[in-house]
Structure 1
């Protein structure tokens, strides 16, 4: 039962790693299965580019047209992950009355910075050109990313300051406010190149509406990134974006729990999308 989940998450603390990921997935296996039964895919493996991982899935429950489009970009430390792992977010967005989408992107060892951001740009452009055929509104695309997915969205904002999206939701991402972790050097390149490759100025300056969140049990690095971005936005704009420190969740469950009984983050994202 989900009422026991917060205790189990608290017991895991701030740890990262494959074993923690699998433990977290097990906590939400039944929730994701039920959500999948309620919201089957509308279209699968839509090709948005030439690489084999340039694929995205679509979900919809509403019978109306001109729906806001919510594209989810999964995490995975630049090395792993799949759109199937983010299907719960896309399905939850469909249940909320939007056109939900979940994308794959290129991974290490094939991908290097800034290719993840390039893939987000390409997926957004594909949705702009094709979402109307699935009752989506190409003028109301909102991108949602977690961990590496948030990094790729932030990079897309650097590559394309005019990225044609109505809003961006960044969950537990890296924006350039903490030093490079050696685990991420294979993607970013040498430490000396890291400051020039981080999108901190692009995310701080963008006029695109932002929703920024981290988890209570996120590692300190991700919490510092959250605070750094909020402070930078305050200094540059005189106000902070919509933000949330989500109680009772860790780096992985921040996205995994969306679509379950705990609706605190989901409801805030839905309100944000509706306002974009």
Structure 2
């Protein structure tokens, strides 16, 4: 069992001496609102590298791109161009603004990836917790990327969710009820509702000691993807908690589980997505 105190843990994991992460572009605007900012990290002399867009967690209420420099360092260290972003949070925004924000950041990435040595045909969405929800929604529900002129079947190579909620009705938390609106609209907010079998390949990982998101939830989404003929992999890490699965990406904690190795291996075997859609 491994549990991490969030604020102290992030401060320690993000120590520069441990992370080794350096942003090559910081606080780049991908939209007009103040939270619509992103950072880009890249390995030295990157050329046509896969691009990983990281979406932080925090229950759609908290979190910031600066909290996860250790994730960026881990990804850049494996040869990926890594992008991390802020998106709108409650109470300033509600569903679906955070999806719209993330879609705008993906469109920015598609247009600018080559400038940083990334391959715009190999964009991978990686999210933790609420960020995994956003990654899944952008990959499964074509409305959000469609709103910025993209198609997940064509423009997203894969999506990776760490400790994500994909099927979490009914909503019991008063805050979540406010974030996601009227009860009659709740089914439309769930990633599992949009599985078609034509969605990007997915990797859904969780820890079996997750005390925030039921570890069984990813398996329900994976089962529906498989039933529809889609491509999905699942991993359960023994002893990892909700935050521990992300902390295991940090250099001093990689002994906990091979989360980084599994992410890197999954991305390494991807090929650019193609689609018959116009």
Inter-partner Cα distance in structure 2 for 1:166 and 1:65:
17
Corresponding residue for residue 97 of structure 2: 115
- TM-score normalized by structure 1? 0.85
Q: How many residues align?
A: 257
Corresponding residue for residue 74 of structure 1: 56
Superposed CA RMSD in Å reads 2.1
Per the alignment, do residues 35 and 195 of structure 1 end up closer, same or farther by CA in structure 2, a change over 3 Å counting?
A: farther
User: 2:201·2:231 contact (CA, 8 Å) conserved in 1?
Assistant: no
Inter-partner Cα distance in structure 2 for 1:95 and 1:177:
34
1:254-265 matches, cutoff 5 A: 254-260=245-251, 261-262=254-255, 264-265=258-259
CA-CA distance at 1:241 after TM superposition: 1.3
User: 2:19·2:250 contact (CA, 8 Å) conserved in 1?
Assistant: no
Corresponding residue for residue 193 of structure 2: 201
1:24-63 matches, cutoff 5 A: 24-27=6-9, 29-34=11-16, 38-63=20-45
Inter-partner Cα distance in structure 2 for 1:127 and 1:38:
23
Moved more, 141-150 or 215-224: 215-224
Corresponding residue for residue 135 of structure 2: 153
Per the alignment, do residues 35 and 153 of structure 1 end up closer, same or farther by CA in structure 2, a change over 3 Å counting?
A: farther
- Which structure 1 residue ranges, 4+ long, deviate > 4 Å from structure 2? 34-37
SS of residue matched to 1:223: coil
Deviation string for 1:224-251 (max 9, x for gaps)? 32121122122222x7611111222211
Corresponding residue for residue 187 of structure 1: 179
Inter-partner Cα distance in structure 1 for 2:212 and 2:28:
37
The answer to whether structure 1 residue 268 and structure 2 residue 262 are counterparts is yes
Corresponding residue for residue 18 of structure 1: none
Moved more, 219-228 or 109-118: 219-228
> Larger helix proportion, structure 1 or 2?
1
Corresponding residue for residue 251 of structure 1: 242
- TM-score normalized by structure 2? 0.84
Deviation string for 1:58-104 (max 9, x for gaps)? 11123131111111000001111001122221221100011111111
Inter-partner Cα distance in structure 1 for 2:204 and 2:7:
23
CA-CA distance at 1:152 after TM superposition: 1.4
